[in-house]
Amino acid sequence: MINLNSVLEPIRGHYHLPALGAALVTSHGLSAIGAVGERKYGSGIPVTLNDLFHLGSCTKAMTATLMGILVEAGTLQWETTLAQIFEPDYEMLPIYRWITLEQLLSHQAAFPGGDEPWLPGKTHLEMYDLPGSIQQQRQAYLKQALQQPPTVPIGKYHYSNLGYTVAAAMAEQVMNASWEELITTKLFQPLGMTRVGFGPMGTPGQIDQPWQHFEENGEIEAIAPEPEHDNPPLISPAGRVHASLEDWGRFISLHLQGEQGYSTLLSPETLQKLHTPALETGSMVEGSSDLYGLGWMVTERDWGGGRVLYHNGSNTLNFALVWMAPQRDFAVLVATNQGGEQAFRGTDEAVGALLVEVG
Question: Do 88 and 215 belong together in one domain?
Answer: no
Question: Do 69 and 54 belong together in one domain?
Answer: no
Give CA–CA dist 328/86, Å, rounded. 42
- The verdict on residue 306 lying in a domain is no
**Secondary structure class of 298 (helix, strand, coil):** strand
Question: Do 55 and 141 belong together in one domain?
Answer: no
Distance between first and last Cα of the chain: 17
Give CA–CA dist 24/351, Å, rounded. 10
- The verdict on residue 310 lying in a domain is no
Reading the chain (359 residues) residue by residue, the pLDDT tens digits are 899 999 999 999 999 999 999 999 999 999 999 999 999 999 999 999 999 999 999 999 999 999 999 999 999 999 999 999 999 989 999 999 999 999 999 999 988 886 665 565 566 666 667 778 999 989 988 888 898 888 889 988 999 998 999 999 999 999 999 999 999 999 999 999 999 999 999 999 899 999 999 988 888 999 999 888 898 898 999 999 999 999 999 999 999 999 999 988 999 999 999 999 976 555 566 667 889 999 999 999 999 999 999 999 999 999 999 999 999 999 999 999 999 999 999 999 999 999 998 87
C-alpha triplet 76, 78, 81: angle, nearest 5°: 75
- The verdict on residue 14 lying in a domain is yes
- The verdict on residue 213 lying in a domain is yes
Torsion of CA 93, 97, 98, 101, to 10 degrees: 110
**Secondary structure class of 324 (helix, strand, coil):** strand
**Cα-Cα-Cα-Cα dihedral sign, residues 256, 319, 300, 296:** positive
Last residue of a domain, one of 149, 177, 205: 177
Q: What is the pLDDT of residue 119?
A: 60
**Parent domain of 139:** 63-177
Question: Do 342 and 284 belong together in one domain?
Answer: yes
Give CA–CA dist 351/353, Å, rounded. 5
Question: What does pTM read for this prediction?
Answer: 0.95
Question: Do 104 and 70 belong together in one domain?
Answer: yes
Question: Do 326 and 193 belong together in one domain?
Answer: yes
Give CA–CA dist 72/52, Å, rounded. 30
Contact yes or no for 182/151 (Cβ under 8 A): no
Rounded to whole angstroms, what are the CA distances from 329 to 26, 49, 306, 324, 347?
5, 23, 12, 8, 21
Q: What is the pLDDT of residue 152?
A: 87
Give CA–CA dist 93/231, Å, rounded. 28
Give CA–CA dist 72/7, Å, rounded. 41
Last residue of a domain, one of 122, 143, 177: 177
- The verdict on residue 269 lying in a domain is yes
Question: Do 338 and 190 belong together in one domain?
Answer: yes
DSSP 240-278: -EEEEHHHHHHHHHHHHHHHTT--SSS-HHHHHHHTSPS
Question: Do 26 and 104 belong together in one domain?
Answer: no
230: number of Cβ within 10 Å = 26
Instruction: Report which of 66, 63, 72 is spatially closest to residue 165, judged by C-alpha positions.
Output: 63
Q: What is the pLDDT of residue 286?
A: 67
CATH number at residue 329: 3.40.710.10
Domains contained in the chain, number: 2
- The verdict on residue 338 lying in a domain is yes
- The verdict on residue 233 lying in a domain is yes
- Asked if omega into 88 is within 30° of 0 (cis), the reply is yes
Question: Do 197 and 344 belong together in one domain?
Answer: yes
Q: What is the pLDDT of residue 116?
A: 60
Question: Do 80 and 160 belong together in one domain?
Answer: yes
DSSP state of 100: B
Question: Do 136 and 192 belong together in one domain?
Answer: no
Q: What is the pLDDT of residue 282?
A: 52
Contact yes or no for 157/292 (Cβ under 8 A): yes
Question: Do 49 and 82 belong together in one domain?
Answer: no
**Which bin fits 35, alpha (ψ -120 to 50), beta or left (φ > 0)?**
beta
